[in-house]
Amino acid sequence: MKNLFNKWVLGISIVLTVSILTGCGSKTEHWAYIHEPTEEIIALSDNGKATYKGSKYTYTKDDTYITLKDKSGGEESLRYEMNGDQMTLYEKSTYTRLGKAEGDGIVGVWTQDNGWSYQFTEDGHFSEEDIFFGRYTVDEANSCIRLMYDDPIEDAFLYYTLAGDSLTVAYPWPMVRVEK
């Protein structure tokens, strides 16, 4: 009888240990940029925990946004879209207008400290990093800029907020599940 009890205790101990080590069966989605499929950018566990660019968060998710919360109460919402087994994650970058406003809205030259830039002209042309060129349209009602590249690159839809000489752009990054 004592031998049976010892086997039962050992069995329960093993089950509990495995459950604790594996997160009680929680599943995690690991995502990477499509151009770096082995480098994890964001991981989302079904237990509400996330890792984004090496930092830990709790998160909530609806059909449009992944909202990350850090331990200090800070919050960041990332727009996303699912495309079958791929995800497009919109990451925010803030640009500062160079010089005075050349026209209404986003028209002008916008730069970051790292040298990245956009230029939007009044006649609907754009330059991205002085490398990619094309035409653009603005959907002000949805705060969306459509970039139509001259090169054979798929159109990009950027979500933006404009506050004076500060332009925050949510740029679409195609994501795939991490290749292990």
Q: How many domains does the chain have?
A: 2
In angstroms, the CA 155 to CA 144 distance is 12
In angstroms, the CA 110 to CA 167 distance is 8
Last residue of one domain, picked from the residues 37, 61, 89: 89
Q: Which among 170, 146, 168, 175 has a CA at the least distance from the CA of 159? A: 170
Say yes or no: 159 and 98 in one domain. yes
Residue 132 contacts residue 143 (beta carbons within 8 Å): no
Q: Which among 161, 118, 156 has a CA at the least distance from the CA of 140? A: 161
Q: What's the domain range around 70?
A: 25-89
Which residue's structure tokens are 């959907």?
139
CA 84 vs CA 37, 90, 105, 106: distances in Å: 17, 17, 35, 33
**Does residue 5 sit within a domain?**
no
Say yes or no: 83 and 99 in one domain. no
Say yes or no: 150 and 111 in one domain. yes
Q: What is the pLDDT of residues 90-128, one digit of tens each?
A: 999 999 999 877 667 999 999 998 989 999 999 999 999
**Does residue 122 sit within a domain?**
yes
Q: What is the pLDDT of residues 129-149, one digit of tens each?
A: 999 999 999 999 999 999 999
pTM for the predicted model, two decimal places: 0.79
Residue 129 contacts residue 136 (beta carbons within 8 Å): no
Q: What is the pLDDT of residues 22-78, one digit of tens each?
A: 445 579 999 999 999 999 999 999 999 999 999 999 999 999 999 999 999 999 999
